[in-house]
Amino acid sequence: MSKLKIAELFYSIQGEGRYMGVPSVFLRTFGCNFTCGGFGMPRGEMSIERDAIAERMIEFRDYNELPLVSTGCDSYASWDPRFKDLSPMLETNAIVDRIMQILPHRRWEHEHLVITGGEPLLGWQRAYPDLLDHDSMHRLKEITFETNGTQPLSAEFKEYLQRWRAQREITFSVSAKLPGSGEKWSEAICPEVVCEYEQVGYTYLKLVVATEQDLTDAEQAVLEYRTAGFTGAVYVMPVGGVERVYTLNNRTVAEMALRKGWRYSDRLQVPLFKNEWGT
């Protein structure tokens, strides 16, 4: 029986991308290859908000008690090792039991499964077949992997997904990290990886932007993906894990999308639920 280290498992409205508004189960795995400390910071500076939270770690017994941050990665506790004890390692059977408990009809009807992170396509690829092949998961019809687009699919997992999608829908929502995230271009923009996802499921880019410099970076990235053969849709999404930041730039980003002929993705979880844990 495979195991997954789970940072969060909750039922909410998908707030971003292609399935915005769809009731979804979110399975947030632990671990990421990036840290994205640059979000919401002046170019070249890195957030230290999570360091201040880590120093108060003794105060927090549960993931949901952690403070939200307005700079850096807003799901920091799903990868920073200092918070790892708040994310249990669970067998896939136990995860499926929890999923059934949070679904409104105790079984899949029209809800969507979102596997997110952290970066969900790190080593956990080997555990997903066990999860998805569980008897209670057979009614599930739509799944999205929310990924940063840097992790190739293993040959075994790619073959598994190609079988799975014969009667169902797989989506890769690729939030590629532009320099405004603080990550290096050479490590974050991996067109050949994203083109491989397109062979397995509907794949789109979802780029977080706030400034004209971010928009210029987004144009360069899209050019590189297109040159490699990527054909999917491009969304731009405002920065902002807290409402104060999000409302500063959501309209500007919508106007950028209109200028470029790209799609706009909101972050519905921010105005609806204040981006609290579990939303």
Per CB under 6 A, residues contacting ligand SF4 are 32, 34-36, 73, 75, 79, 117-119, 148, 177
Give residue for tokens 């939200």: 68
Distances (CA, A) of 271 to 50, 72, 267: 23, 19, 8
> Which of residues 129 and 240 has its CB atom nearest to ligand SF4 in the complex?
240
> Which of residues 73 and 190 has its CB atom nearest to ligand SF4 in the complex?
73
> Which of residues 64 and 101 has its CB atom nearest to ligand SF4 in the complex?
64
Give the shortest CB-80-to-ligand SF4 separation in angstroms.
9
For residue 54, the Cα-to-chain-centroid distance in whole angstroms is: 22
Give the shortest CB-208-to-ligand SF4 separation in angstroms.
8
Please say whether the beta carbons of 161 and 132 come within 8 A: no
Give the shortest CB-133-to-ligand SF4 separation in angstroms.
27
Exposed, middle or buried: residue 11 (CB in 10 Å: 0-12, 13-18, 19+)? Answer: middle
Q: Name the residue among 106, 99, 114, 102 with its Cα closest to residue 20.
A: 114
Give residue for tokens 């008690």: 65
Give residue for tokens 């210029």: 216
Give the shortest CB-177-to-ligand SF4 separation in angstroms.
6
CA torsion sign for 240, 241, 245, 250 is: positive
Eight-state DSSP code of residue 8: E
> Which of residues 119 and 214 has its CB atom nearest to ligand SF4 in the complex?
119
> Which of residues 18 and 177 has its CB atom nearest to ligand SF4 in the complex?
177
Give the shortest CB-199-to-ligand SF4 separation in angstroms.
22
Give the shortest CB-85-to-ligand SF4 separation in angstroms.
18
Q: Name the residue among 249, 237, 277 with its Cα closest to residue 68.
A: 277
Distances (CA, A) of 191 to 153, 195, 214, 225: 13, 6, 18, 5
> Which of residues 24 and 147 has its CB atom nearest to ligand SF4 in the complex?
147
Give the shortest CB-37-to-ligand SF4 separation in angstroms.
8
CA distance 39 to 241: 10
> Which of residues 122 and 254 has its CB atom nearest to ligand SF4 in the complex?
122
